[in-house]
Amino acid sequence: MQDWLIDDDRLSLGRKSVLPGEGFFYPDSLESQEVEREARETLEDAGVVVVADPDADGLACTALVRVAHGEGALLPAGPHELEEALGWVAEYADTEADIYICDLCPDSESDIADLSAATSRVESVSWYDHHQWDDALAAQVEESGVDLTVGDSEEVCTADVALAEIDHEFDERFAELAAVTRDHDLWIREDERSDDIADYAYWADPEEYIETVLEHGVELPEEVEAFLADKRVEKEALIEKAIERAEMREVGPWTVGVTYGRCSQNEVAESLREQGADAAVIVKPAGSASIRGTESFERCHEVAAQVNGGGHPKAAGCKPDIYDDMLDYAHHWTTQGAVAKQAIVDGFRRLDFEGEPDE
């Protein structure tokens, strides 16, 4: 396959909206070799390591660890990469290293299969999070020797937890960083700066983001603001595409807005809420999906748990297990996620409606 076929820069906005990014088309085997090499180099000589989701919340935690310890190598790991990351810690980490795991929650026992080996290898493991945890998995994590702290997912983000738990006297600007991160992560949206840091964390290299907030806090410099303004032109256009193709479905007592596209899911969900949706489902071209709730629907994590995911009452993610080969993905792109949409809507239908208000 020629490179130009997956070159994002040559795609029209309409095609870019329905297709995944070029990284999707690289075989996992090739990508995993490179990622493992980078993980080994990160871990082998690091005295402090942060295994974190590389979004604004996880990166804020990494910044706090670096302030407290003067160091803190980042090993980025998304929610579906936790098992892999813990395996690398167990194999490559320095035996005197202190490990922090931030903004990640295991969905099953397989995610923490290598945790005991990791804790046995290193000096200490602290785990900070704020997602909805299964009690049995939490007990298993603590029994492995981890210092686990899980904050209330409706009140705090993981940066709040790290700020409270790390033994260090942080400057006020880091409390502000946690507060603004919380404003976006919990979808409070009372501080206009929270969209800036969330977008910057998404578009910038993780190390660039960490260095910036360490130096400037949440008051981003002019060059970053200019960078964000330029990126948001396309962002807003992709959001509009997803909103245009959305449809409302009545499921039990709820109105669920369902759409598809490569887009910023939070803004799309907010638009669907304004149109009357109690919950929003945004299916992505790569096969994953975001589920967002409102005051009238706080069970997103229950829906996600049925389709290979998890998260919070008002914000969750998943990737339905429906893709057996590239023909399934081709169908996914050409039907704008029809099978994935139906699998997630069926998850809403399987919820117990008892006690829900009648509309």
- Distance, CA of 162 to CA of 62 (rounded, Å): 9
Q: Look-up: residue for tokens 């709040």?
A: 160
Helical segments of the chain, H only:
13-18, 28-44, 56-69, 82-92, 115-121, 135-143, 158-165, 172-185, 193-203, 206-216, 222-244, 265-274, 300-305, 326-334, 338-349
What's the pLDDT at 8? 80
Q: Which helix (H) or strand (E) holds 98?
A: strand 98-102
First-to-last alpha carbon distance for the chain, in angstroms, is 52
Helices 56-69, 172-185: axis angle to 10 degrees equals: 160
Q: How many CB atoms lie within 10 A of CB 174?
A: 22
CB 43 within 8 A of CB 73: yes
Q: Which domains does the chain have, with CATH numbers?
A: 45-220 (3.40.50), 242-349 (3.10.310.30)
Q: Long-range contacts for 165-170 (Cβ within 8 Å, ≥24 apart)?
A: 165/126, 165/128, 166/64, 166/65, 166/68, 167/68, 168/64, 168/67, 168/68, 170/64, 170/67, 170/68
Residue 264 in 3-state DSSP?
A: coil
Ramachandran angles phi, psi of 130, nearest 5°: -145, 15
Angle at 351 between CA 349 and CA 356, to 5 degrees: 105
103: left (phi over 0), alpha (psi -120 to 50) or beta: left
Q: How many CB atoms lie within 10 A of CB 233?
A: 8
- Distance, CA of 54 to CA of 4 (rounded, Å): 28
Edge-first strand listing for the sheet containing 289-292:
247-251, 254-260, 279-283, 289-292, 315-318, 309-311
What's the pLDDT at 359? 43
CB 283 within 8 A of CB 260: yes
pLDDT, one tens digit for every residue, the chain (359 residues): 667 667 887 888 888 899 898 778 767 667 678 889 999 999 998 999 999 999 999 999 999 999 999 999 999 999 889 999 999 999 999 999 999 999 999 989 999 999 999 999 999 999 999 998 999 999 999 999 999 999 999 999 999 999 999 999 999 999 999 999 999 999 888 999 999 999 999 999 999 999 999 999 999 999 999 999 999 999 999 999 999 999 999 999 999 999 999 998 989 999 999 999 999 999 999 999 999 999 999 999 999 999 999 888 999 999 999 999 999 999 999 999 999 999 999 999 999 875 454 44
Q: Model pTM?
A: 0.74
Helical segments of 45-146, H only:
56-69, 82-92, 115-121, 135-143
